């Protein structure tokens, strides 16, 4: 016979169990979408996680000056000059299919182009403002041409969109356009009106140029933007295109350039966004590091480029931490991507052509990043990316299963021995690859 107390306790346990199974398997992102299960979330993000490597492109009339997009407005470039640059923007050498082919030759699997940065200039034929590409001498819809070229080549087309807009009179902030800039007399900004301007943009972008792979928001940190508005905009975009992937910069809770969201799984958006740094190992939250190939986002003459070794190092460390890498290029004012950058991208693509199986479709781990490097895995294979050989032996003491076979993807022989502490891995010095020695372990399961 159960006592009353025992009955009460078992009912309570049952309720807890049901809660854990049903409620906890849902991701609470945004009011309209809070009921998405983890399975549905994973399925929606799968292509993007498998892709691991994409091209970021920052471009606009500011390339004529070679200064930073958005940020140089009202600083190095006076506002009146910056805002009139579009009148001379005529990138006649722009060839969308060439950009797509450059991305492909780099081994990149998706492309994210700035449709509107903080400076407010629109790179597409929008009905909402004349401050767009059709008012330039060029008069060609860059987003149209690039999204078509991407579609022809099966490269998911994605777009960056800045919430803050230092050009639009309804974006309510007195510091827009940089320090010392104040609202023109007679303007009375209205954030609601500005949000409906943004919604028209997003509708144009998703419905006229979509389906899009990712909507990459930015510029959420200023005061006019609120969490409530972020939640609403997230739902709005997913309603336009239910399988859209959206970054975490609609939320107010980004931890600066770390790009992580300070309240974990509850953030608005689908993935975290470390900027100009490699994210930390995290297999729970999807993340993507965005990093420039040089120093500046927009084109800068004679910008200092990262070496091939640095680029591979960044890619491998990112993927080993279970993140994606969005590597940025800034095309020149004539519409071409700088030959030096193209050359570097092709070198990355050649490396991926040989060793891509250790990157694409993998997940980071199972071993967390070590002083010697990182690991990735797919099915029953674990890839050890040895970036820095230890002085003594390379010991694996935390591998959870038996190793059936070890081989070296980058060439040469691997000797594998089992000790009391775990496995010992050795590749002769002559067979080590200074870029990355990749050892493939075939696991029991």
Which residues of the chain form contacts with ligand H79 (CB under 6 A)? 58, 69-70, 218, 221, 256-257, 275, 290, 297
Q: What is the C-alpha separation between 124 and 145, in angstroms, rounded? A: 10
CB nearer ligand H79, residue 98 or residue 258: 258
CB nearer ligand H79, residue 256 or residue 264: 256
Q: How far is the CB of 117 from ligand H79 (least distance, A)?
A: 6
Q: Do 271 and 247 meet the contact criterion of CB atoms below 8 Å apart?
A: yes
CB nearer ligand H79, residue 69 or residue 332: 69
348: helix, strand or coil: helix
Q: How far is the CB of 58 from ligand H79 (least distance, A)?
A: 6
How would you class 18 by CB atoms within 10 Å of its CB: exposed for 0-12, middle for 13-18, buried for 19 or more?
exposed
Q: What is the C-alpha separation between 309 and 314, in angstroms, rounded? A: 9
The whole-angstrom distance between residue 166's C-alpha and the CA centroid of its chain comes to: 24
CB nearer ligand H79, residue 166 or residue 423: 166
CB nearer ligand H79, residue 149 or residue 298: 298
CB nearer ligand H79, residue 69 or residue 414: 69
Q: What is the C-alpha separation between 415 and 413, in angstroms, rounded? A: 7
CB within 8 Å of 387: residues ≥ 6 apart: 313, 316, 317, 372, 373, 374, 436
Q: What is the C-alpha separation between 334 and 383, in angstroms, rounded? A: 42
CB nearer ligand H79, residue 18 or residue 257: 257
Tokens of 48: 């993007």
Would you give the DSSP letter of residue 37?
B
Q: Do 273 and 261 meet the contact criterion of CB atoms below 8 Å apart?
A: no
Q: What is the C-alpha separation between 419 and 393, in angstroms, rounded? A: 12
Ranges of beta strands (E only) in 276-362 are 288-292, 324-329
Q: What is the C-alpha separation between 279 and 63, in angstroms, rounded? A: 29
Q: How far is the CB of 433 from ligand H79 (least distance, A)?
A: 32
The whole-angstrom distance between residue 312's C-alpha and the CA centroid of its chain comes to: 17
Q: What is the C-alpha separation between 9 and 439, in angstroms, rounded? A: 53
Q: How far is the CB of 34 from ligand H79 (least distance, A)?
A: 25
| Number of Cβ atoms within 10 Å of the Cβ of 242 | 11
Please compute, for residue 390, the number of CA atoms within 13 A of its CA located in the half-sphere on the CB side.
12
Taking the CA atoms of 73, 77, 79 and 85 in sequence, report the sign of the dihedral they define. negative
Q: How far is the CB of 53 from ligand H79 (least distance, A)?
A: 17
Q: How far is the CB of 66 from ligand H79 (least distance, A)?
A: 15
CB nearer ligand H79, residue 36 or residue 218: 218
Q: How far is the CB of 38 from ligand H79 (least distance, A)?
A: 28
Q: How far is the CB of 70 from ligand H79 (least distance, A)?
A: 6
Q: How far is the CB of 214 from ligand H79 (least distance, A)?
A: 13
CB nearer ligand H79, residue 116 or residue 385: 116
Q: Do 409 and 439 meet the contact criterion of CB atoms below 8 Å apart?
A: yes
CB nearer ligand H79, residue 153 or residue 222: 222
Q: How far is the CB of 294 from ligand H79 (least distance, A)?
A: 13
């Amino acid at each position: 016979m159960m006592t009353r107390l025992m009955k009460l306790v078992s009912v309570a346990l049952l309720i807890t169990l049901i809660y854990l199974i049903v409620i906890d398997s849902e991701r609470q992102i945004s009011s309209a979408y809070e009921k998405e299960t983890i399975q549905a979330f994973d399925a929606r993000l799968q292509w993007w996680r498998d892709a691991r490597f994409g091209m970021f492109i920052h471009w606009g009339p500011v390339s004529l000056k070679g200064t930073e997009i958005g940020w140089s407005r009202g600083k190095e470039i006076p506002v009146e000059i910056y805002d009139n640059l579009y009148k001379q923007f005529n990138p006649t050498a722009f060839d969308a299919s060439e950009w797509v082919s450059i991305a492909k030759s780099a081994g990149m699997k998706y492309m994210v182009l700035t449709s509107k940065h903080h400076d407010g200039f629109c790179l597409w034929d929008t009905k909402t403002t004349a401050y767009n590409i059709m008012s330039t001498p060029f008069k060609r819809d860059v987003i149209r041409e690039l999204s078509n070229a991407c579609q022809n080549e099966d490269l998911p087309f994605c777009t960056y969109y800045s919430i803050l807009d230092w050009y639009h009179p309804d974006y309510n902030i007195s510091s827009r356009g940089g320090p010392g800039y104040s609202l023109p007399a007679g303007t009375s900004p209205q954030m609601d009106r500005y949000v409906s301007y943004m919604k028209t943009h997003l509708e144009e972008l998703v419905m006229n140029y979509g389906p899009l792979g990712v909507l990459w928001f930015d510029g959420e940190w200023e005061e006019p933007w609120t969490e409530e508005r972020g939640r609403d905009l997230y739902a709005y975009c997913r309603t336009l295109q239910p399988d859209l992937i959206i970054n975490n910069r609609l939320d107010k809770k980004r931890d600066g350039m770390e790009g992580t969201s300070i309240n974990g799984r509850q953030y608005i958006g689908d993935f975290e966004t470390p900027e100009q740094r490699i994210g930390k190992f995290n297999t729970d939250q999807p993340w993507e590091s965005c990093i420039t190939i040089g120093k500046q986002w927009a084109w800068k003459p004679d910008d200092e480029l990262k070496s091939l070794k640095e680029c591979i190092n960044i890619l491998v460390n990112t993927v080993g931490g279970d993140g994606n890498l969005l590597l940025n290029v800034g095309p020149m004012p004539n519409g071409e991507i700088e030959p030096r950058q193209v050359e570097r991208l092709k070198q990355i693509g050649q490396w991926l052509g040989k060793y891509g199986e250790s990157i694409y479709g993998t997940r980071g781990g199972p071993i967390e990043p070590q002083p010697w490097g990182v690991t990735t895995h797919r099915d029953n294979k674990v890839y050890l990316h040895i970036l820095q050989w230890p002085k003594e032996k390379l010991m694996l003491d935390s591998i959870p299963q038996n190793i059936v076979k070890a081989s070296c993807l980058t060439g040469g022989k691997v000797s594998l021995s089992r000790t009391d502490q775990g496995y010992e891995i050795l590749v002769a010095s002559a067979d080590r690859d200074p870029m990355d020695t990749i050892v493939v372990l075939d696991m029991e399961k």
